[in-house]
Structure 1
Amino acid sequence: MSHLTSRMRALKVIPVIAIKDAHKAAKLAQVLSENGLPCAEVTFRTEAAAQAIRNMREAYPDMLIGAGTVLTTQQVDAAIEAGVDFIVSPGFNPTTVKYCQQRNMPIIPGVNNPSLVEQAMEMGLNTLKFFPAEPSGGVEMLKALSAVYPVSFMPTGGVNPANVNQYLALNAVFACGGTWMVPGNLIDEERWDELAELVKNVATIVGE
């Protein structure tokens, strides 16, 4: 997990993607990789997720690819078979966590309060998703949690160009999950040049 978080820390922002057509995944991977964000969290909010991950992995073997919104062990299996590097879940489900651990697959489960952080730590986890970030208290809540618990967070949910640097300024934050550079409508309409500009702008926004 330390190598994984190091890669994410270097990227700063992880694009969170809901893709409806897996045939567009390889092109999306190209846009991300060639414009400074060779990574993706492909969410299992669509039926195309597993095939999209597989297509991205085949086209860009070295890309950092995760599966997001993973709610069941069956989705864990599908994600692993598709070739993911890590799993992300919106909440803390001990069954999903244990299954990922059994399969030696890194998982970043979602938490948003002290009790869930402690449950995650009890299972040996110290790399967590803070979700939904803004509705759960945002930067101030993260400051409070990180003052007490020796864990690292990936805030996701309401993170945008206006507040991303406030999150990244916290030592406990290793990266932020964001959707603003990968709008679903631009993917659907194959507006790759516009997506490329949004991805390029991430580096400028986060001060690289």
Structure 2
Amino acid sequence: MADASGVLGVSPVIPVVTIDDPQDAVPLARALVDGGVKIIELTLRTTSALTSLKLIADEVPEILVGAGTILTPQQADDAVAAGAQFLVSPGVTPALLTAMLSTGVPVLPGVATVGEVLAVLEQGLDTMKFFPAGPAGGPKYLAAIGAPVPHVRFCPTGGISLATAPDYLKLPNVACVGGSWLTPADAVAAKDWARITTLASGAAALAR
């Protein structure tokens, strides 16, 4: 099942997380769950990312774990083999989208223009990541995109904060937002899991 609508319904915010030390993976995931956020997009931006992903998939079954920053077909295959339950890309090419779809897990391809939205629609998907949301034009741009393709639902990510998230969530074509503010680098470095739980609670309470 490639459609990601179920993924987008788990939480108003999908935490976008980069983990340097795999030992932080499980406590970080548990801190998010304790705050009411039962989903995580773990970016493949570090050499140990797949190790962290597998640890979360194996040891924190109550969280839906996905792999982000999918750039190649091989990364898509490796992420699913490690336990990823959905895949997210920052952008998309025909070859990458085909490879992601072939894994059989829900896919959230990244788009930033109407042309890219139409290309993904041609492959049968109507749920997408809008990235980079802030630099690409923010809520006004996303609202304008909704006029010609009102049935497409987005998860905008990139430059979104707790303060700006409501501006996106009130749009009819936004299902949830992605945000890195739930897991600040300094909190992870200090292993301040209680702070992450508090930030997750604030995100979970946002109205869609």
Q: Give yes or no for TM over 0.5.
A: yes
Q: Distance in 2 between matches of 1:63 and 1:85?
A: 10
User: Secondary structure in 1 aligned to 2:66?
Assistant: strand
- One-letter identity of the residue aligned with 1:19: I
Q: Quick check: 2:35–2:204 contact (8 Å CA) kept in 1? A: no
Q: Provide closer, same or farther for how the CA distance between residues 108 and 4 of structure 1 changes in structure 2, counting only shifts above 3 A.
A: closer
> 2:203 aligns to what?
202
Quote the offset at 1:189 in angstroms.
Answer: 2.2
Residues 114-152 of structure 1 deviation map (CA, whole Å, 9 limit, x = unaligned): 111111111212111000001111111111111111211
Q: Distance in 1 between matches of 2:108 and 2:2?
A: 12
> 2:119 aligns to what?
119
> 1:60 aligns to what?
60
Greater relative CO, 1 or 2 (CA 8 Å, sep 6+): 2
Residues 23-69 of structure 1 deviation map (CA, whole Å, 9 limit, x = unaligned): 11111111011110011000011112111111011111231111000
Residues 148-204 of structure 1 deviation map (CA, whole Å, 9 limit, x = unaligned): 112110000011111101111111111100011111221122111222221122234
5+ long unaligned stretches in structure 2? none
- One-letter identity of the residue aligned with 1:162: A
- One-letter identity of the residue aligned with 1:163: T
5+ long unaligned stretches in structure 1? none
- One-letter identity of the residue aligned with 1:200: S
Q: Distance in 1 between matches of 2:31 and 2:25?
A: 10
Q: Quick check: 2:4–2:127 contact (8 Å CA) kept in 1? A: no
1:136-147 equivalences in 2 (<5 Å): 136-147=136-147
Is residue 107 of structure 1 aligned with residue 118 of structure 2?
A: no
> 2:80 aligns to what?
80
Q: Distance in 2 between matches of 1:50 and 1:2?
A: 21
1:163-174 equivalences in 2 (<5 Å): 163-174=164-175
Residues 96-128 of structure 1 deviation map (CA, whole Å, 9 limit, x = unaligned): 110122221221111111111111111212111
Identity %: 36
The normalised TM-score by structure 2 is 0.93
User: Secondary structure in 2 aligned to 1:134?
Assistant: helix
- One-letter identity of the residue aligned with 1:178: G
User: Secondary structure in 2 aligned to 1:174?
Assistant: coil
Q: Distance in 1 between matches of 2:72 and 2:4?
A: 22
Q: Distance in 2 between matches of 1:106 and 1:94?
A: 17
RMSD: 1.7
Quote the offset at 1:9 in angstroms.
Answer: 2.4
Q: Give the count of matched residue pairs.
A: 207
Quote the offset at 1:207 in angstroms.
Answer: 3.9
The normalised TM-score by structure 1 is 0.93
Quote the offset at 1:7 in angstroms.
Answer: 4.6
- One-letter identity of the residue aligned with 1:197: T
Q: Provide closer, same or farther for how the CA distance between residues 114 and 7 of structure 1 changes in structure 2, counting only shifts above 3 A.
A: closer
Q: Quick check: 1:17–1:184 contact (8 Å CA) kept in 2? A: no
Q: Distance in 1 between matches of 2:187 and 2:11?
A: 22
